[in-house]
A and B are shown apart, each in its own frame.
Chain A
């Protein structure tokens, strides 16, 4: 204790230096824990907010719906339960404007009074009233019907029922609303029904109750449930509790109900995203913590000579090896406790300001566990970085041996056995194995409670990182050891006439210099790969939002609306609008399947909608637009359509589209020109993209249905408000900022801004430390040499030439090799973590500004270290010599 207390009092730098390195590692681990806690909490909240109806409880044949409803209403955890009817109609028919339109089979939904209030997001009114008989948007378009029109509902085996339409609605959650409850994953319908009508529940009962008796297979009774959402913030825990409650309900009601668990399905996706967050932690946090450990080690190494002398003196004065070991352990423990305490406090602060998370976990137990794990990591680093070298040094018997400044010759074991090459080869193999076919890092089978992460795939980037660091060691060792002549020539610009002794010095100190090179190259690689990954991530978040919204601001006209001819011109006149791209939106029958049809101008849509190559298969975005431009009747269809119909390029397609003049469907010929996977504003299932001019000619209707608006410098939500005022209430106006908040089934929906800031700031700090501090510490070890050189008549600039040479070697080997390693690592990371991105990036985004900041920071650190070494030589020489 006395030794430790004296150490802290007399040699605070010896304790504080390594403690700072430990604190850096613990702070990173702690703040990443805060990020994961925050991200997981966000994911759960998001998942809950994305669901409109938590449970669709389907009453099984033989059970009494009213009794089931009563049971559910009184059950704990259920906030609201309302009955809903669903029945198959043989078809819908409407006579509007003298023409009669009919549809194929569809679904008629019975909604009780107050349903819209209980589940406000389930339906969105596009025209007419919120209550009464409501037509789905697509059905209204098919029937050419709107509020006030009469629709005839076909009932199997019975007389049709006529109802008057009150409004037109959109069902944003149609996929879940019309799910086959209880059907195993994968056997659900690929798309919701095309024809849908909503009736007041009383009307629905009077229409379909007779059918329930004769054809019970065509009628279903459901109870839509809203839960109280008191769930754990961890998506996995929330999923487990929530699905457990659903299964318990089924068990309690002994088979009389099956639960369609929409909330569980969404949490299922969220827990997968949570695992990706964990993966990000491993990939970004582990190297950062390792770097901090290396840094602590470097700081310890810098004071090694003095410590060795002290320990050797203690041995000479009778201290036993065991006593010295205890001193080493006490020093490591002091460094570990101090560093961990500071690091945890730092981690909490970073979490509070970076991620708005005041804890290190989602629960108290998790927070305590995470803090303990971070502190344990800190203690481990302290033992490895401080304790082990001190223990080794305690074996040094003589003060003379302790003064040795030149590291022993011979290559380190790792290089002698080619560990660097083995690691790089292993990284290549793992990458090859994990990047081919559809390998996924996170495996979360739908509906299965367990999820797993293939940490094996993460080994690729980590092996590459470690291998590139060791390779930098090998190359610098080789160049400094055997490239004397070349080194002399290369150093002439910085060392002038002292290039020869400078090169000789560097060659003999290559072991310690190589350590600094490795640390700098690893730091630069970490900074570059982190920055590129984060930048690519941000890029894809933008692409995702753009894909969903189509443009910074989008105007969508209601179906069958008559769009004024000057709509585009009026939108272009709105202050802040830079460009308006008009796009047709129709519905087209591809065989019996009703799909969305987008009519575009291939000359202008590319840049306006910022089409990505990833949106298409078999060619780039430019290729596909060229095909549309050169062939008027060219059509791009979905992969599924191309597969179902066994299409080959150039095949003739015959679609049925509504004709403007007759209102009926006409057959229009197209030619298959390629596969489109995604398109702005398009649904995720099948759709068709073709030339707007050709569609207009064939249907006699040139009117566009969607306007994509470029915003320039005006914020999208501000411009959206202006556009709303211009178009009135008839059209829907969306902006990309709102979309960005709303969309997201994947991790891209999680705000990684805080993580990005922390990671990048951390990489910068490490870059300064690895560049300036390590060089500075190395140079301070050579104070003795510099003092001797000064005593021999060297001027400060001549002493600085030695320091400059060292800095140049460090910058070139550490910087250049680190940059190459970082570039490779960034590409590998993006490839391995493809699942994080939605859509997958076609190219990585390089944040040049940040990388320039890293380069400048490293350069400044090196220059500061060089400058401080030359300043030290300006002390009176006798004082300098006396200190040595």
Chain B
């Protein structure tokens, strides 16, 4: 991954002393604890660690999909905006199939824009353009169930990128793909992030994927054990 611009801009996300605990009846599980980190504009970060180490939870927290039970998270470059994935702020690529099954590829990509109040026609034009850029123009009118795993994940990438976000978060985007498809998805993410100068954070436990990133955070038992580059 190209890291020329990493850390060059201002902070996109700043987390301080963050912890997330899940409660189920009397028992509780600490998924993430004692995390302090900073992600700058243009950063390319990969988070690695075994299953259950807290990668997904940390990504949800960084993307604003979840709230920490302890500590604070701020998004200075996004206007300090609260939990939201509005276009222009955060784009998230989920771990599993995340397309709305009843909408075709173009409608799935247009949906975040429509949720943000963008006119239907404008949203659809932007969605088709995003799909074209990812080489998916031919499947724009196909339903998710008609797409291959790689195509689905690239449509999800297109949906994450359609609003030109400042922060792109991808939770094991290649976990269910073969190497060729995985490479294609990662290329798409990389190019899109570079095009808009967004920060890119990817989690994986695939060493091949991890090797594409120079900045590497290693997680174990809910904590970041090491960071390739310390952001203080």
Which residues of A are interface residues toward B (Cβ below 8 A)? 403-406, 497-498, 500-501, 504-505, 508-509, 784-785, 788-789, 791-794, 798, 876-879, 881
Would you call B143 and A791 a contact (CB within 8 A)? no
Would you call B102 and A791 a contact (CB within 8 A)? no
Set A788, A798, A876: member contacting B98, Cβ < 8 A: A788
Would you call A505 and B102 a contact (CB within 8 A)? yes
**Distance (Å) between the CB of A798 and the closest chain B CB?**
6
Q: In this complex, what residue of A is CB-closest to B124? A: A500
Would you call A792 and B66 a contact (CB within 8 A)? no
Contacts of B112 in A (CB 8 A): 792-793
| Contacts A405-B102, A878-B56 known; 10 new A-B pairs at CB < 8 A | A404-B145, A405-B101, A497-B120, A501-B107, A505-B100, A791-B94, A791-B98, A792-B111, A877-B66, A878-B60
Would you call A785 and B101 a contact (CB within 8 A)? yes
Bound: A794/B85 CA distance, A: 9
Which positions 100-143 of chain B face chain A at CB distance < 8 Å?
100-104, 107, 110-112, 114-117, 120, 143
Residue contacts A-B, CB under 8 angstroms, 23 given: A405-B102, A406-B102, A406-B143, A497-B117, A498-B115, A504-B103, A504-B104, A505-B102, A508-B102, A508-B103, A785-B102, A788-B94, A789-B100, A791-B65, A791-B92, A792-B115, A792-B159, A793-B84, A793-B115, A793-B116, A798-B115, A878-B57, A881-B60
Q: In this complex, what residue of B is CB-closest to A406? A: B101
The answer to whether residues A788 and B66 also contact, given A793-B86, A793-B112 and a CB cut-off of 8 A, is no
* Residue B193 lies at the interface, judged by CB distance under 8 Å to chain A: no
Bound: A112/B156 CA distance, A: 103
Q: In this complex, what residue of A is CB-closest to B100? A: A785
Bound: A709/B7 CA distance, A: 99
Contacts of B85 in A (CB 8 A): 791-793
Q: In this complex, what residue of B is CB-closest to A792? A: B112
**Distance (Å) between the CB of A781 and the closest chain B CB?**
10
Would you call B66 and A878 a contact (CB within 8 A)? yes
Q: Is the interface of A mostly helix, strand, loop or mixed?
A: helix
Bound: A497/B117 CA distance, A: 7
* Residue B99 lies at the interface, judged by CB distance under 8 Å to chain A: yes
Contacts of A405 in B (CB 8 A): 101-102
> What total of chain B residues lie within 8 Å of the partner, measured CB to CB?
33
Q: In this complex, what residue of B is CB-closest to A787? A: B98
Bound: A505/B57 CA distance, A: 30
Would you call B94 and A881 a contact (CB within 8 A)? yes
Would you call B114 and A497 a contact (CB within 8 A)? yes
Q: How many contacts A-B (CB < 8 Å)?
A: 76
Bound: A85/B48 CA distance, A: 114
Would you call A794 and B60 a contact (CB within 8 A)? no
**Distance (Å) between the CB of B218 and the closest chain A CB?**
22
Q: Is the interface of B mostly helix, strand, loop or mixed?
A: loop
Bound: A505/B86 CA distance, A: 21
Contacts of B99 in A (CB 8 A): 788
Contacts of A878 in B (CB 8 A): 56-57, 60, 65-66
Contacts of A403 in B (CB 8 A): 97
Mark contacts of B49-82 with chain A using CB atoms, 8 A cut-off: 1 yes-contact digit, 0 otherwise: 0000000110010000111000000000000000
Contacts of B102 in A (CB 8 A): 405-406, 504-505, 508-509, 785
Residue of B87, B101, B145 with most chain A CB atoms under a 10 A cut-off: B101
The answer to whether residues A501 and B103 also contact, given A789-B115, A793-B116 and a CB cut-off of 8 A, is yes
Contacts of A505 in B (CB 8 A): 100, 102-103
Bound: A5/B98 CA distance, A: 35
Would you call A877 and B114 a contact (CB within 8 A)? no
**Distance (Å) between the CB of B222 and the closest chain A CB?**
14
Contacts of A794 in B (CB 8 A): 115
Bound: A509/B102 CA distance, A: 7
Q: In this complex, what residue of B is CB-closest to A505? A: B102
**Distance (Å) between the CB of A486 and the closest chain B CB?**
15
Contacts of A509 in B (CB 8 A): 102
**Distance (Å) between the CB of B96 and the closest chain A CB?**
8
**Distance (Å) between the CB of B136 and the closest chain A CB?**
18
Across the A-B interface, give the 10 residue pairs with the lowest CB-CB distance, nearest first. A405-B101, A508-B102, A878-B66, A793-B85, A505-B102, A878-B60, A500-B120, A792-B112, A793-B86, A785-B100
Contacts of A500 in B (CB 8 A): 114, 120
Bound: A881/B60 CA distance, A: 10
Which positions 6-61 of chain B face chain A at CB distance < 8 Å?
22, 56-57, 60
Contacts of B116 in A (CB 8 A): 793
Q: In this complex, what residue of A is CB-closest to B56? A: A878
**Distance (Å) between the CB of A589 and the closest chain B CB?**
83
Would you call B94 and A501 a contact (CB within 8 A)? no
Set B60, B111, B117: member contacting A789, Cβ < 8 A: B111
Bound: A555/B60 CA distance, A: 86
Set A501, A508, A788, A791: member contacting B114, Cβ < 8 A: A501
Contacts of B115 in A (CB 8 A): 498, 789, 792-794, 798
Bound: A794/B116 CA distance, A: 8
Bound: A403/B176 CA distance, A: 16
**Distance (Å) between the CB of B28 and the closest chain A CB?**
13
Contacts of B86 in A (CB 8 A): 793
Bound: A505/B100 CA distance, A: 9
Contacts of B107 in A (CB 8 A): 501, 504
**Distance (Å) between the CB of A407 and the closest chain B CB?**
10
Bound: A509/B103 CA distance, A: 10
Set A508, A789, A792: member contacting B143, Cβ < 8 A: A508
Contacts of A785 in B (CB 8 A): 100-102
Set B60, B101, B103, B104: member contacting A877, Cβ < 8 A: B60
Contacts of A798 in B (CB 8 A): 115
Bound: A789/B99 CA distance, A: 9
**Distance (Å) between the CB of B90 and the closest chain A CB?**
9
Bound: A501/B101 CA distance, A: 12
The answer to whether residues A498 and B98 also contact, given A791-B65, A879-B22 and a CB cut-off of 8 A, is no
Contacts of B145 in A (CB 8 A): 404, 406
Mark contacts of B148-178 with chain A using CB atoms, 8 A cut-off: 1 yes-contact digit, 0 otherwise: 0000000000010000000000000000000
**Distance (Å) between the CB of B153 and the closest chain A CB?**
14
Bound: A505/B103 CA distance, A: 6
